[in-house]
Structure 1
Amino acid sequence: MWKALSGVLATREALFSRKCAADLLCPFCKSRSESIEHMLLLCDWSRKIWYGSPLTLIINPMHISSFANWYDLFVADDSPITDYDKSYIACLCWNIWKTRSVSVFNAAAPNPSQVLISTAAAVNEFWKINHSLPNITRSSEIFNSVWKPPDSGIVKINCDGAFSEAKKMAAIGIIACDSSGSFLKGWRKVVDADSGFLSELLACKKEVQLASEFNEARLL
């Protein structure tokens, strides 16, 4: 973790700056510079891992100034999250980096599911060895990226896009829910896009089109 927090991980961006790599693009999405933030948090495969974890974190690029600042939110002395979750975050970051490195070496696509399995096993083993499994009740105050229903009378629409470099395929999805969290309307489709960024732009475009179908409803 100290290498990530100190900005010295050997990402493509870092290697390129030292003239040790031919380019600085992420080896998986090939659409963004592989910075520490991109590799651990923002690449499509990394974002799937955070959302699929017990933390169900939705990583918003607009809220990421640096990996160190993001990480400090969780490990600060006044952070309301548990020690178990702090150890889970650290271990998940390590497994993302480890899987990324192995996948690059083997020229293979990373497996998000395997990262989650390995992380759960490692964290539980750590606490078992220390003969103490702490309370893992999670605070909603810090995990404010988890989906929440809108206020009464408001329809909330969410969209997302994903791109698979291995399969050269992209897809988008949109879902609308009311204040009780009940499903109102949804839409999904395989689209013509060559990057995760473009697929998300197409998802936003379709979201605006879908929003027009709710007439006078208040939207979020």
Structure 2
Amino acid sequence: MVYLSQELFFPPVSEANYDGILAIGGDLSPERLQLAYSSGIFPWFEEDDPILWWSPNPRMVLFLDELKVSKSMRNILNRDIFKVTFNKDFRGVISNCQHIKRDGQNGTWITNNMIDAYCNLHELGIAQSVEVWQNDELVGGLYGVDMGHIFCGESMFSKVSNASKVAFVSLVNHLKDKNYQLLDCQVYNPHLESLGCREIERDDFMKILRKEV
């Protein structure tokens, strides 16, 4: 594991350890975050811990044509129960992702510094959000980092049933319309698998990220 200085640098992702941790330290400046995502790396750490930078192998991704939408979800989408917007309330989305309670987790990895850092990226047009509204209340959404041909999803939240799924499906349809290649979901979880996501080798992910395929 490499300890980062103020120099804008990351080691090759092949140097990540078995768990996927590549480096420690550095900062959350827009320049470093942009370098990280363009290099297949993302930050993930808890409050009061040093910044940890990850590049897991395998990588959880969604090939957009492999999205699984259940019949019940199609019915919800067709009934227009929710209103979906893009980039209308980025800070509201990431703040809700910070505070939402999740099964099996005592706290959150979205620190206040992380919120400020990604809001800075949003102001630069790099970090983007999807909002789901019901009766003019923000009830679900997600945010991530837009690499132009890959969208790197970071976190999602839901205050009412199915709101985060609506955000996810809406994002995928948006990315398909713009001919994106991939939605990066970082690490495995069964909920993502149920939506059609699957694990691929990090080398294959990096080839797509570098537009080598």
After TM superposition, the score normalised by the length of structure 2 is 0.26
- Larger RCO (CA under 8 A, 6+ residues apart): 2
Q: Which has the larger radius of gyration?
A: 1
Q: Choose between structure 1 and 2: higher strand proportion.
A: 2
